[in-house]
């Protein structure tokens, strides 16, 4: 089944006001959005229209009970200027896993992908040409039924917005291993990209930043012993020449960058093991000299190199250089912009007539 997406174009594009060499972070949006309404059990009226404010009833259920989920992905351009999406079908299926966990309706994957492609085609001139820049895409869904009471809403909106993003310069970051607050517990919503997960992370992140750290390293809810992930990134360690990353135990977000990096590392000949990892074993590996690298993986930053991890009474030094992580980052970026052969079949071209 194919969807008919109606298109209303803006009368005046805002693109001329954007300096592509100095894109402000997260505050610039393209001219249009994709939007679709859920009512009476069906997704209705998929359309692209000028980005605008959406009237919200004060009783809209998302505002009270938090039924809100999102995705994050990026569009790039290959050397011929064709827009490329990185594994969009993975975002579509993860979006629906989030929806299921939060008692929200699924968005047919074809509608999700068609909406993305149509929006990217219309906004293709907003994909920054600069190396390392990209058009960030934010699909999201929220409950907009006006109702006071605890149950799943019956009305939702599914929207995709786009925001140009400048190059992210990966510096070496410092993590704070958090033993008081938690991000996710088994059986909770840690695997969902649910808005509330991020709300709960804001205060602990502020406190870590006040201590001089860049991000929180989340530990398990029961014992504060096992490493989960970082901010909006999954985490990898290189110990004695091999890689380890926390297993997907029900509380860790299933990162698409994580899955891709595992494939890349194995392709490069490294051993990668997904298992439980304790903060103590990482401290021990640092002490005995076997901890060689650590890095975070996520769409927003790609790969973030980790230089140290702060604990209550000591600092774990990781490394000042991350040669393998740099190589993985370069390879991933080259695939995303079509400069390296896409041997894993990760890229989707957006080939559309311009309307």
Ligand X SMILES: *Cc1c(COP(=O)(O)O)cnc(C)c1O
The pattern of x and - marking residues 24 through 63 that bind ligand X according to CB under 6 A reads ----------------------------------------
Question: How big is the site for ligand X, counted in residues (CB under 6 A)?
Answer: 14
Work out whether 299 is an interface residue with ligand X (CB under 6 A): yes
Nearer to ligand X, 234 or 322 (CB): 234
Closest C-alpha among 354, 349, 355 to residue 80: 349
CA distance linking residue 86 with residue 74, whole number of Å: 7
Give the side-chain half-sphere CA count within 13 A for 326. Answer: 9
Residue 210 to residues 13, 190, 206, 207: CA-CA distances in angstroms?
40, 25, 6, 5
Question: Measured on CA atoms in the order 155, 34, 199, 29, is the torsion positive or negative?
Answer: negative
| 319 forms part of the interface with ligand X (CB under 6 A) | no
Q: Which stretch binds ligand X (CB under 6 A): 44-52, 58-66, 227-235, 310-318?
A: 227-235
Decide: is 193 part of the binding site for ligand X (CB under 6 A): yes
Question: Which one, 170 or 257, has the nearer CB to ligand X?
Answer: 257
User: Is 298 a binder of ligand X (CB under 6 A)?
Assistant: yes
Q: Which is nearer to ligand X, 285 or 304 (CB)?
A: 304
Rg (C-alpha) for the chain, rounded Å, is: 21
Residue 214, interface with ligand X (CB under 6 A)?
no
DSSP-derived secondary structure letter, 194: B
Residue 205 sits in the site that holds ligand X (CB under 6 A): no
Q: Does 174 engage in binding with ligand X (CB under 6 A)?
A: no
Q: Which of 28, 67, 245, 297 binds ligand X (CB under 6 A)?
A: 297
Q: Which of 74, 238, 258, 283 binds ligand X (CB under 6 A)?
A: 258
DSSP label at residue 84: E
Of 257 and 348, CB closest to ligand X = 257
CA distance 75 to 133: 9
Q: At what angle do helices 88-101 and 256-267 cross, to 10 degrees?
A: 140
Count of positions (residues) in the chain: 355
Cα dist from 35 to 4, 50, 108, 176, whole Å: 13, 10, 14, 39
In the list 67, 232, 322, 348, the residue contacting ligand X (rule: CB under 6 A) is 232
Task: Check residue 256 for interaction with ligand X (CB under 6 A).
Answer: yes
Which of 28, 98, 257, 319 contacts ligand X by CB under 6 A?
257
Residue ranges in contact with ligand X by CB under 6 A:
72, 193, 229, 232-234, 253, 255-258, 297-299
């Amino acid at each position: 089944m194919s969807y008919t997406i109606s298109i209303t174009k803006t009368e005046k594009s805002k693109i001329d006001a954007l300096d592509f060499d100095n894109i402000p972070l997260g505050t610039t949006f393209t001219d249009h959005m994709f939007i679709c309404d859920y009512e009476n059990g069906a997704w209705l009226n998929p359309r692209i229209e000028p980005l605008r404010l959406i009237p919200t009833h004060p009783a809209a259920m998302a505002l009270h009970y938090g039924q809100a989920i999102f995705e994050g992905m990026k569009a790039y351009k290959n050397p011929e200027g064709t827009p490329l999406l990185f594994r969009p079908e993975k975002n579509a299926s993860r979006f629906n896993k989030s929806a299921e966990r939060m008692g929200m309706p699924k968005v047919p994957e074809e509608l999700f992908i068609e909406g993305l492609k149509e929006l990217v085609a219309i906004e293709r001139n907003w994909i920054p040409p600069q190396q390392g820049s990209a058009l960030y895409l934010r699909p999201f869904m929220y409950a907009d039924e006006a109702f006071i009471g605890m149950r799943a809403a019956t009305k939702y909106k599914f929207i995709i917005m786009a925001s140009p993003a400048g190059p992210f310069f990966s510096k070496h970051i410092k993590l704070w291993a958090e033993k008081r607050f938690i991000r996710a517990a088994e059986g909770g919503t840690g695997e969902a990209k649910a808005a509330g997960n991020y709300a709960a992370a804001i205060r602990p992140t502020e406190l870590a930043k006040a201590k001089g750290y860049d991000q929180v390293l989340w530990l398990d809810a029961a014992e504060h012993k096992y490493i989960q992930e970082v901010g909006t990134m999954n985490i990898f360690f290189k110990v004695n020449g091999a890689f380890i990353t926390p297993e997907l135990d029900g509380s860790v977000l299933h990162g698409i960058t994580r899955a891709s990096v595992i494939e890349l590392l194995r392709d490069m000949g490294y051993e990668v093991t997904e298992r439980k990892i304790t903060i103590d074993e990482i401290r021990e590996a640092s002490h005995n000299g076997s901890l060689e690298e650590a890095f975070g993986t996520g769409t927003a930053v790609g790969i973030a190199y980790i230089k140290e991890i702060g604990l209550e009474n000591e600092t774990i030094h990781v490394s000042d250089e991350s040669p393998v992580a740099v190589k993985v980052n370069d390879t991933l970026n080259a695939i995303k912009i079509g400069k390296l052969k896409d041997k894993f079949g990760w890229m989707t071209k957006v080939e559309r007539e311009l309307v």
